[in-house]
Structure 1
Amino acid sequence: MDAVESAGSGHPGTALALAPVAHLLFQRHIRHDPADAAWEGRDRFVLSCGHASILQYTQLYFTGYGLDLDDLRSFRQLGSLTPGHPELGHTTGVEMTTGPLGQGVATAVGMAMALKRDEGRFTGDSGGSGSGSGSGSGDNAGDGTGIPARTVWVLCSDGDLQEGISYEAGALAGRHRLDNLVVVWDDNSIQIEGSTDLTTREDTAARFAAQGWYVQTVGLGADGDIDTDALDGALSTAHATEGRPSLIVLKSQIAWPAPHAVNTPAAHGAPLGAAEVAATKALLGVAAEPFTVPADVLEHTRAALGRGAELHRAWDKALAEWSAAHPERAAARERAIRPLDAAEVAGAEAALPAFETGASIAPRDASGQVIQALAARLPRLWGGSADLGDSNRTTIADGGSFLPVGEEQNGGPAGRNIHWGVREHAMAAALNGIAIVGYDTPFAGTFLVFSDYERPSLRLAALMRLPVVHVWSHDSVALGADGPTHQPIEHLASLRAMPGLSVVRPADAAETAAAWLSALARPGAGRPGPVGLVLARQGLPVLPTPAEAVREGVARGAYVVAGAGETADVILLASGSEVALALAGRAALAERGIGARVVSVPCKDWFAEQDAAYRDAVLPPSVRARVVVEAASVFGWHDLIGDAGRAVTIDGFGLSASASDAMTAKGMTADAVVAAALESLGAVGSH
């Protein structure tokens, strides 16, 4: 209450009501070591209702993560360690950036999947000891057979479970029997506009039960507060439950015990006011002075440091004993989970397939070949598709399917192919969770047009700078007769507008291989963040550029593919399949005595990272006549083509036709490139 009053804004109602829940979790149930927030053996805690951030910050303060009362006093202020919503990498002890509702629940599913996969590595046979949060052998630290399993704990709200992503994520968790996932749902029946009865009468508990979850309900205590004894038991039962994720339906009253704010929508997002805070403190019997914490209270809560140190020692001891008992498995696990370094990426590069100049290869097919080569060298590579594995070419051959213990004949928890189903949003969020855990380099595939379903999760990946790879195939109207519903137009521009997301559209098979290498190498070079590979469905000619020049050029975001060292009257900039079209335009312009330089621009963001000397070498400022050629919206290209530039682009929806007919009908022709070049030359007075 004091922090929200001091800030003059915030969300006190949920944080106040759930304070007993957070205390119970951090003191009795979450395995954590406040002195080492990055400890490998820790459980994960996700505050999916991120608007209640002060709830998490107070626990980080009380249990000894490094926050102090001044940090709480500066809640939501510029430069503070306690921003309005929790942010990964900003506040020690925060496991993910939350706030957009539903994201925490879905990302936690990915965390639980990643931990399951790691525990599959311990056994060497995809299951057994250490593979479930309640498995007996998994909790027998020190017997040499396994390690204590790690649990993902989530606090979520009505809004989290109203968001559609929760349906997708719930189904995934149930299918994969993620018994290392415990979600506590704050069922307070209040949201901003009033009672939840205004929006839903769904039996949420029955929904989760139908998806394969173990569901418990904890009612209010006799005094109207949360029944903490019942909740304590429910949390213990959930932790011990095998074969199913757990949902605890927790009845609460928003803003309890504030006498006038309790059960009011206003308590969700506004300070309670000085009078209400004073009245609540009087009811609780605590000091009226703001930010007063008695020494004995802090001594009691900071005992978490001692417990954490002991848990840390026990887990590390169990890991060491298991490693000694199973040295080959331990060495394999160590290789699998270590971060990629330059040597590994270089080794993977040597294993990549070679593509013959002039051969017609679809970038999606080239990507599939690259994935096979990379997967054979990099055990960290793990991924799948939203029921489009065959179309995206994302399936790892002989990799097995990621499935629960007991389904080892299909791969089990060590399987390398994730079958997400038609759940793009939960797929992208869970991918973030896998990356947060950090053992694997995850990738996921769908059609470019369906990246719209992934956008909120993509944005959080960019905010958190997560090294995830998205494979987006079927990149333009050239996908053909499926028509405008499946033909992306505005997607490249809108995705490029997202800060921190690298959108890479390769021109051919060689650029596709180079794009994969750059995506894997960037985190090790200190430039993490999501990468989207935008791949054409149709065959494209492999350009004659030397492989080394291609790889350097793609890593730099743009490079000259034709006309280097020659006098250029006009520059043709293109990405993806339109690089070949720009080359055809260059040949036609040469017949008119006009010199054209062709620049492939696979990634505008990476090009913007280069120094001015390189950018000017690729795009000489003296050559103002420029044409962009791309089968997508022109929006976002004017910074490179300038005031005299012209565009051969598509700024209306597509149509149902064969690939070649669709491209021609939408003006993607060599004649159009020539006409645009002549217009641009005319605009600068060159011809």
Structure 2
Amino acid sequence: MNKELDAIALSIRSLSIDAIEKANSGHPGLPLGAAELAAVLYGKLLRHNPQNPQWVDRDRFILSAGHGSMLLYSILHLSGYDLSLDDIRSFRQVGSRCPGHPEYGMTPGVEATTGPLGQGIATAVGMAVAESMLAARFNTADYTIVDHYTYALVGEGCLMEGVSSEASSLAGTLKLGKLIVYYDQNKITIDGSTDIAFTEDIAKRYESYGWQVLHGSMYSYSDIETLTEQAKKDPRPSLIMLDSVIGKGAPAVEGTAAAHGAPLGKEKLAQAKEHLGLNPAEQFFVAPEAYAYFADRKKGFEKQEADWNTRFAAWSAAHPALRKEWDGFFEGGGIDRKVLDGVADPVFKVGEQIATRAASKTALNVFAKAFPNLVGGSADLQGPNAVALQDVRTYTADSRDGRYIHFGIREFAMAAITNGIQLHGGFRAFCATFAVFSDYLRPALRLAALMKIPSIYVLTHDSIFVGEDGPTHQPVEVLASLRAIPNVLVLRPADAEETAVAWRMALEQKDRPTCLLLSRQNLPVLQKADPDWKTLMKNSGAYIIRNTEGSPDVTVLATGSEVSMACEAAGLAAPQQVRVVSVPSKELLDTASDTYRKQLAGDASHRSIVAEAGVKQGWEGWVLDPRMDIVSIDRFGESGPAKKVAEHLGFTAEALAARICGKCGDV
């Protein structure tokens, strides 16, 4: 058996160094140093079927150290995934199925986009959470249909990044025993030995998190197999620390930082091939024994899934109600659109004063009742974020059937774990924090957008109206910064009714994340001038909320809490005829047809004013004179009662009315 595994490891090294050399770009150190782990993991340990990478009960493997992507591409090719040698030859080229770092949805067998270090292990935590939730809901006394492990490979860089600490701490608290992480302990980073910046005792650190910590050699198949089996027997998550040599097999660079992030170069490549027993003149060599081994294993891989399919069919026949629920869980994005269309929005009364965060809680619970797979939580802000789920249990180590997750004060890990739950399948996942702390979770939101997954981010306390907490908590720049991320739907509803529609829009998404920006302060439920406002909001991101009898003199485009301010200002600005447009989604409005945009804001000669309690960035193209006609806050806020802060910054209906009438200078 070791002979075949050696052939696989050799082939991984061969394919990796040649692909990196051909691309003149890449990271050979990890593929050379961890080839044995990939060989035994995919060859013997992983429960998977390369012919069906989406098999629901497969084990998941996350390459958290995503820079070593050629390790993953090589073993996916060798083990029979739909990844050809030609794909590998085009490593790091435009349009390649082997991009520089693993990208979800681009390469069969890649479970998550990784590369930003630390996010992979955090995403793996989310996948382990999802597995345990599914198992608790669908496994029965007579059949076990959810029973798989989540594996990850990390390096020193992953463990230095703070997100790995956040996520690992929570994983230990939750006792995620089906999470197994291999640590490629080569003690080298780009700048040299890890001793220059990283001297902590990793074993003690993870033991303190509540993990089982095991030790072995990267180059002992028996170590890897034995330790993995030992990990499976422990109710805690496991860190398997494997001593390794970066760049192993390339004598000129092995054990040094030079192996990390650059092609070997012609001479060192030839030297490495000679050392490995390869022909320096032959490129992209694969040992025949490697192909033969996986050809023999193909039937075994397929049988694993076939046996599960038989068991699943029997379970389905014995439990038809559960099977129906299962099918709903695995609809696109976790939401059955037919069910969603049948759920009525909560009803609010015009004139009722209610914060959009409170309205969000009402809407969330209406939808959560209809969708038992809608799961999530907040970063220790359940009350302030208003995201408590009614009549559900909290997810803990002792209650895997819980749906609400207390993430603790770990925004970054929270968002990455949410992504992992969403990626796993079977759920629609949300998380929540204050809008200003979206800066802590932004890298995970960015990856959600890149992966085209519909995670939901509830961001409350969205403006200077936070008040007394002051400028540290008043997110004046956040809206613009969130809108700057491609493929993110940012929704800032004006009132309770818009908030319910915003939640519906979020749940309708299948290929992009949504950010809901919600108010702390109460806002009036507004009368809508356009009876078709819900459709217009969903399709075009904006609609006329207050109209004029004739042609308007001025149009005010406003978002969130500023819509009610604009409606009040319109009344104060008489005899000016003022139309008010609510813009819950600037991105949707930006991409609406020219005809609809002109219908809302008039032609190029018509005066429009923008009102938003944040920086003006991004609104300049909507007005004739950005200096005069964008009412914004291009500075940090102040500490004080919300109303007083708004007055101090000139952000009131009276000030806006004066601006409409052309009677004041800058606000």
2:425 counterpart residue number: 438
Q: 1:171 aligns with which of 169, 172, 181?
A: 169
Q: Give the superposition deviation at 1:230.
A: 1.1
Write out aligned runs for 1:352-431 (5 A).
Answer: 352-404=345-397, 407=398, 412-431=399-418
**Residue type matched to 2:653 in 1?**
A
1:646 counterpart residue number: 629
Contact residue 384 and residue 395 of structure 1 kept, 8 A: yes
Q: Secondary structure of 2:571's partner?
A: helix
Q: Secondary structure of 2:113's partner?
A: coil
Write out aligned runs for 1:343-358 (5 A).
Answer: 343-348=338-343, 350=344, 352-358=345-351
Write out aligned runs for 1:277-288 (5 A).
Answer: 277-288=269-280
For 1:113 and 1:543, the matched residues in 2 are separated by 41
CA distance 1:75–1:123, change in 2 (3 Å): closer
For 1:60 and 1:366, the matched residues in 2 are separated by 47
**Residue type matched to 2:445 in 1?**
L
1:120 counterpart residue number: 136
**Residue type matched to 1:219 in 2?**
S
Contact residue 647 and residue 676 of structure 1 kept, 8 A: no
Aligned residues: 645
For 1:389 and 1:308, the matched residues in 2 are separated by 44
Deviation track 1:573-614 (CA, whole Å, cap 9, x = no partner) reads 110110011112211222xx2211111111111223322222
Q: 2:659 aligns with which of 676, 679, 687?
A: 676
For 2:513 and 2:186, the matched residues in 1 are separated by 36
TM-score, length-scaled by structure 1:
0.91
Deviation track 1:521-544 (CA, whole Å, cap 9, x = no partner) reads 132xxxx21101000011101001
Task: Report sequence identity in percent.
Answer: 42
Q: Give the superposition deviation at 1:88.
A: 0.6
2:559 counterpart residue number: 575
2:606 counterpart residue number: 624
1:532 counterpart residue number: 515
**Unaligned 5+ residue runs, structure 2?**
1-16
Q: Secondary structure of 1:218's partner?
A: strand
1:141 counterpart residue number: none
**Residue type matched to 1:312 in 2?**
E
Deviation track 1:96-147 (CA, whole Å, cap 9, x = no partner) reads 11110000000110011111100011246xxxx7xxxxxxxxxxxxxx3313
Q: Give the superposition deviation at 1:59.
A: 0.9
**Residue type matched to 2:188 in 1?**
I
Write out aligned runs for 1:281-320 (5 A).
Answer: 281-288=273-280, 289-320=282-313
2:528 counterpart residue number: 545
Q: Secondary structure of 2:123's partner?
A: helix
**Residue type matched to 1:267 in 2?**
A
For 1:558 and 1:328, the matched residues in 2 are separated by 41
CA distance 1:665–1:564, change in 2 (3 Å): same
Q: 1:269 aligns with which of 245, 261, 267?
A: 261
For 1:373 and 1:682, the matched residues in 2 are separated by 46
For 2:531 and 2:327, the matched residues in 1 are separated by 31
Q: 2:59 aligns with which of 35, 43, 48?
A: 43
Contact residue 447 and residue 475 of structure 1 kept, 8 A: yes
CA distance 1:624–1:45, change in 2 (3 Å): same
CA distance 1:297–1:680, change in 2 (3 Å): farther
**Residue type matched to 2:89 in 1?**
R
Q: Give the superposition deviation at 1:228.
A: 2.4
1:557 counterpart residue number: 541
Write out aligned runs for 1:2-401 (5 A).
Answer: 2-123=18-139, 144-147=142-145, 149-219=147-217, 226-238=219-231, 240-288=232-280, 289-339=282-332, 340-348=335-343, 350=344, 352-401=345-394
Mean CA deviation greater in 577-586 or 666-675: 666-675
**Residue type matched to 1:241 in 2?**
K
For 2:550 and 2:53, the matched residues in 1 are separated by 57
Contact residue 569 and residue 623 of structure 1 kept, 8 A: no
Check if 1:447 corresponds to 2:440: no
Write out aligned runs for 1:473-622 (5 A).
Answer: 473-523=460-510, 528-545=511-528, 549-555=532-538, 556-563=540-547, 566-590=550-574, 593-622=575-604
For 1:300 and 1:627, the matched residues in 2 are separated by 69
Contact residue 530 and residue 543 of structure 2 kept, 8 A: no
Q: Give the superposition deviation at 1:549.
A: 2.8
Q: Give the superposition deviation at 1:681.
A: 12
Q: Give the superposition deviation at 1:82.
A: 0.8
**Residue type matched to 1:660 in 2?**
K
For 1:166 and 1:515, the matched residues in 2 are separated by 32
RMSD of equivalent CA atoms: 1.9
Deviation track 1:235-262 (CA, whole Å, cap 9, x = no partner) reads 2222x22311111011101001211101
TM-score, length-scaled by structure 2:
0.94
For 1:69 and 1:327, the matched residues in 2 are separated by 44
For 2:649 and 2:664, the matched residues in 1 are separated by 23
Q: Give the superposition deviation at 1:371.
A: 1.2
CA distance 1:520–1:564, change in 2 (3 Å): farther
Contact residue 489 and residue 512 of structure 2 kept, 8 A: yes
Contact residue 648 and residue 672 of structure 1 kept, 8 A: no
Q: Secondary structure of 2:234's partner?
A: coil
Mean CA deviation greater in 603-612 or 206-215: 603-612
CA distance 1:499–1:564, change in 2 (3 Å): farther
**Unaligned 5+ residue runs, structure 1?**
130-143, 221-225
For 2:245 and 2:546, the matched residues in 1 are separated by 68
**Residue type matched to 1:389 in 2?**
Q
For 1:153 and 1:163, the matched residues in 2 are separated by 19
Q: Secondary structure of 1:253's partner?
A: coil
